[in-house]
């Protein structure tokens, strides 16, 4: 269970050749959980878009219970490997 308080997730604007894109920064709590559960490699195998989607989705949690639920879903989906945001997913090369 996560402790109360700021979970440290945030989005930053990043300029690229096609304009600007929002890139989510991994919160320390997410990093620590991925390392503790030994799922960092599975996370890194996901496409950058999926990584960014997960982090942005987690960062938008307003309540602690929602944050915990989203992190739990991330961990479950990484562990299973064939699901992305509750939808069947065929693992593909990282882009």
More confident residue, 7 or 48: 48
Question: What pTM value is reported for the model?
Answer: 0.73
Residue 91 gets the label, from left (phi > 0), alpha (psi -120 to 50) or beta, of: beta
End-to-end CA distance of the chain: 32
Domain extent listing, the chain: 10-88
CA dist 75 → 13, 20, 40, 85 (Å): 26, 29, 10, 11
Residue 10, helix vs strand vs coil: strand
Query: pLDDT per residue over 35-93, tens digit each?
Result: 999 999 999 999 999 999 999 999 999 999 999 999 999 999 999 999 999 988 876 54
Which stretch of 4-13, 16-25, 59-68, 80-89 has the lowest confidence by average pLDDT? 4-13
């Amino acid at each position: 269970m996560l402790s109360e308080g700021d979970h440290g997730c945030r989005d930053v604007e990043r300029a690229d050749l096609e304009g600007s894109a929002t890139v989510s920064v991994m919160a320390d709590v997410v990093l620590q959980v991925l390392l503790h559960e030994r799922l960092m490699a599975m996370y890194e195998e996901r496409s950058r878009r999926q990584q960014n989607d997960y982090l942005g989705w987690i960062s938008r949690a307003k309540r602690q219970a929602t944050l915990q639920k989203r992190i739990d879903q991330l961990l479950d989906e990484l562990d299973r490997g064939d699901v992305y945001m509750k939808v069947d997913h065929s693992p593909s090369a990282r882009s």
